[in-house]
Amino acid sequence: MMTQAYYTGISGLKNSSYGIDIVSDNLSNVNTVGFRGDSYEFASLFEDALATTSNISSNTVGIGTRIQASPMTQTQGSLLASERSTDMAIVGEGWFGVQGEGDPIYTRNGAFSFDSERDLVTEDGHYVLGTMGKNINGETLTESLAEVPLSDVNTQEKLRFPKNLNYPPSPTTTTQFFGNLGTDPEVRTMSSEVIDANGVRNELNLEFTMLTPQTPPGTQWGVVATTRDRNDETIVYDRQEGIVNFDGTGALLSSTLTTIDNNGSPVSIDLGSDYSGLIAVSNSAISASSQSDGKIAGDLEGYAINRNGEVIATFTNGEQSSVGKIAVYHFQNDQGLDRVSGTYFQASSNSGQALFYQDKNGQNVIGTNLSNYTLESSNVDMTTSLTDLIILQRAYDANSKSITTADQMIQKALNMDG
């Protein structure tokens, strides 16, 4: 029994020391963004039943303990406000993927930023994984996207974007006009900005003159349309004439003005129908407005990330487009992930391979909530950890004293034998 006390005390020392190491590591990372702490579980070693006079006995004597597991703590860390749109927090379960030296590794630390090459990276330089939008050719945006769908889990790639990116111009194809010409024989003018194929802003002007004589009950107007250079009005690209007819209530009946050339780009002139565009009524204020499609060219202002994990490119012409999407990975058993270091984990046979959630249509989705301008703090509870540390230190002292006591007992036994 005296030698058993040695073994029991030694196992207690080893396991208390192991628990202290775990708690100490947790406390040292209490301010580490995205850190997930570990807990500890002990189990008894073999036990011997004690002989008693009772027919039923549950009295046993153990011979020590062993560390059974150090499971990861799964609680959500508190959310911290940030000033950067690239800082992301996962609200719920899931993991960001980053490219390590070999296979992808996974983290809850969403402190991302764009480096000097416009690559999305972690604080220590790992590339963030996701799906590229495939809408960039060299330094030109080929398509404006509201959202980039996640590709297959095994095809995620480094999110790398060009330092310079151009939003190509799109010429105006249709211009709509709205307003009230009234019924007085006065000249009315309207204008609109139109974009040519070179991405240059030009002007489309309409001048309305009431025809004489009039044919009641409606009104008839002649209209002259011109397109000209915005900065030099002496440069006229095209001139078209037409006639616009209104009925007695002021609703538009017809227009012979259809299209006009804008420095090589045809523009359809839409004056509406009935009351949806131009009207000619006497009891309403004279008004004029217009709306054109087409966009001028734009240069890249910068990249940002929205709360859906979309990487958004913003341009000087006011346009935006998604160019990539951050991937969020899931596992069948998060507890089975192996810690690589700090906040980084890797998949194992216990965790299973990384997977994506899918919606009812079979499309890959993030499957959790993301928050930008936010970081997830460590999920270590300092109060609980300090309490555990005190308990483990007391257990360590108690096991140390049990070894000292066993040693004293053996010394006395040896002295008695002598």
Question: Token pair for residue 332?
Answer: 């069948």
**For residue 23, what pLDDT is reported?**
86
110, 88 contact by CB (below 8 A): yes
Cα 386–Cα 392–Cα 398 angle in degrees, nearest 5: 140
Residues with Cβ within 8 Å of 177's Cβ and at least 6 positions away in sequence, in order, are: 190, 192, 206, 269, 270, 271, 272, 277, 278, 288, 289, 290
More confident residue, 403 or 367: 367
259, 238 contact by CB (below 8 A): no
Range in 298-302, 323-327, 408-412 the model is least confident about = 408-412
Distance from C-alpha of 70 to C-alpha of 370, rounded to nearest angstrom: 28
Residue 61 in this model has a pLDDT that exceeds 70: no
Question: What confidence tens digit (pLDDT) does each residue in 76-126 have?
Answer: 999 999 999 999 999 999 999 999 778 899 999 999 999 998 999 999 999
Coil, strand or helix: which one is 97?
strand
**For residue 402, what pLDDT is reported?**
73
Split at pLDDT 50, 70, 90, the class of 188 is very high
In the chain, where are the structural domains located?
2-74+379-417, 79-167+300-376, 174-292
Residue 159 CB: number of other CB atoms within 10 A? 27
Q: What is the pTM of this model?
A: 0.76
Name the residue type at position 215: T
**For residue 144, what pLDDT is reported?**
93
Entry field: residues in the chain: 418
Quote the longest CA-to-CA distance of the chain.
143
Distance from C-alpha of 110 to C-alpha of 372, rounded to nearest angstrom: 9
- Judged by phi (left if over 0) then psi (alpha if -120 to 50, else beta), residue 407 lies in alpha
